[in-house]
Amino acid sequence: MIQYLTRDQLDEKRYNQCISSAANSRIYAYSWYLDIVCDDWNVLVKDNYHMVMPLPKRKKYGINYIYQAPWIQQLGIFSSSSIDASMIEEFIRAIPKKFKLIDIFFNAENRFTSKHMSVRYNYILQLNTDFNTIKSKYNKNRKRISKKDFNNITIDKNGSVNAFLSLYKELEKGYKTHKDSVEKLQKLLSSGNTNVHIWNVFKNKNVIAGLCWLEDSFRITYLVPLATTLAKKENIPTYFVNELIKEHSKKNLVLDFEGSMIAGVARFYRSFGAEKEEYFWYKRMLYRL
């Protein structure tokens, strides 16, 4: 039996234990992370927290809907055992009928087919071998750039939240980033959670690049990379990825690049030897907002 529980009804300890022991665990699904980036969320629970499915939710014009919260790439169903297509369908049917729109990204291990589903692409890199072995799989151009001397820049690996956010807001001006996304990012960066890391890069005492990355027991998540035109000329994006790989090589971790559907960005991730991973966007509208 699948139960629908509100956030207040949730046994937080058992819920988080399910996420941490899940074969398909993602940092986005922990209660602390959802509390930060979601307006509100409830959860579907099966077999005494053996399987869970968090549901970010909102209400607009009196209409309840499940939405894709900012700074989350993959949610869906989490469990330590395998999850087949029939189980995914059972969970979808268990979403209360009061929700007139379901808009959610299922994780890569939640494989199913539906007319309401489309495939999206992510790139991941296994870090369980030594740095030189991983580096040997870079493409020719990435190998060349990674040999560059970066002594003309300074990196602060305990970066200032304010400096990072100022650069983010400056670079995002032309993209009209939703105010809610900016506010949730600020809340995440300021949370003090030790799984959230900020790196800032300086040249001539000016911040020219930044990276927010997440760490859990399974993945290093490349959440928010920032680079000015100057930083791109200095190949700082390559420097960031190289540093992450150096620090976490020979660990049983995955470097999760979080996408991308953009061809140029996807090529950049592939140039490090990253492999394509499919995940799934399910969007079903039962009432026009």
pLDDT digits (tens, 9 = 90+) for 124-164: 999 999 999 999 999 999 999 999 889 889 999 999 999 99
User: Residue 255: which of 228, 216, 283, 211 has the closest Cα?
Assistant: 216
Give the span between the Cα atoms of 133 and 48, in whole angstroms: 43
**Which one of 112, 131, 146 terminates a domain?**
112
* pLDDT of amino acid 210: 98
Helix (H) or strand (E) holding 238: helix 236-248
pLDDT digits (tens, 9 = 90+) for 16-25: 999 999 999 9
Task: Confirm whether 51 is domain-assigned.
Answer: yes
Task: Confirm whether 59 is domain-assigned.
Answer: yes
**Which one of 65, 86, 112 terminates a domain?**
112
Same domain (yes/no): 103, 183: no
* pLDDT of amino acid 86: 96
Amino acid identity, residue 39? D
Helix (H) or strand (E) holding 179: helix 179-189
Q: Would you place residue 287 in the very low, low, confident or very high pLDDT band (cuts 50, 70, 90)?
A: low
User: Averaged over 99-121, what is the pLDDT?
Assistant: 96
* pLDDT of amino acid 289: 43
Task: Confirm whether 287 is domain-assigned.
Answer: no
Task: Confirm whether 286 is domain-assigned.
Answer: no
- Answer yes or no: is pLDDT of 174 > 90: no
Same domain (yes/no): 133, 274: yes
Task: Confirm whether 91 is domain-assigned.
Answer: yes
User: Residue 96: which of 32, 61, 49, 53 has the closest Cα?
Assistant: 53
Same domain (yes/no): 139, 98: no
Q: Which residues contact 81 (CB under 8 A, 6 or more apart)?
A: 23, 50, 51
* pLDDT of amino acid 203: 94
Same domain (yes/no): 98, 179: no
* pLDDT of amino acid 166: 94
Q: How many CB atoms lie within 10 A of CB 128?
A: 13
Give the span between the Cα atoms of 181 and 241, in whole angstroms: 24
- Answer yes or no: is pLDDT of 288 > 60: no
Give the span between the Cα atoms of 278 and 44, in whole angstroms: 24
* pLDDT of amino acid 176: 61
* pLDDT of amino acid 286: 80
Same domain (yes/no): 131, 102: no
Task: Confirm whether 284 is domain-assigned.
Answer: no
Whole-number percent of the chain with pLDDT over 90? 90
Same domain (yes/no): 64, 152: no
3-state class percentages of the chain: helix first, strand second, coil last, to nearest 5? 35, 30, 35
Residue 150: CATH number of its domain: 3.40.630.30
Same domain (yes/no): 63, 199: no
**Which one of 112, 136, 165 terminates a domain?**
112
pLDDT digits (tens, 9 = 90+) for 44-75: 999 999 999 999 999 998 999 999 999 999 99
Half-sphere exposure at residue 53, Cβ-oriented, CA atoms within 13 angstroms: 25
Same domain (yes/no): 150, 93: no
Same domain (yes/no): 207, 227: yes
Half-sphere exposure at residue 78, Cβ-oriented, CA atoms within 13 angstroms: 25
Task: Confirm whether 285 is domain-assigned.
Answer: no
**Mean pLDDT, the chain, integer:** 95
Q: Taking the model in full, what pTM does it have?
A: 0.94
Domain count, the chain: 2
* pLDDT of amino acid 175: 60
Task: Confirm whether 288 is domain-assigned.
Answer: no
* pLDDT of amino acid 250: 97
Same domain (yes/no): 252, 133: yes
* Contact indicator for 36, 196 with CB cutoff of 8 Å: no
Q: 242 in helix, strand or coil? A: helix
pLDDT digits (tens, 9 = 90+) for 192-251: 999 999 999 999 999 999 999 999 999 999 999 999 999 999 999 999 999 999 999 999
Please give the residue range of the domain that contains residue 90. Answer: 2-112
Same domain (yes/no): 253, 144: yes
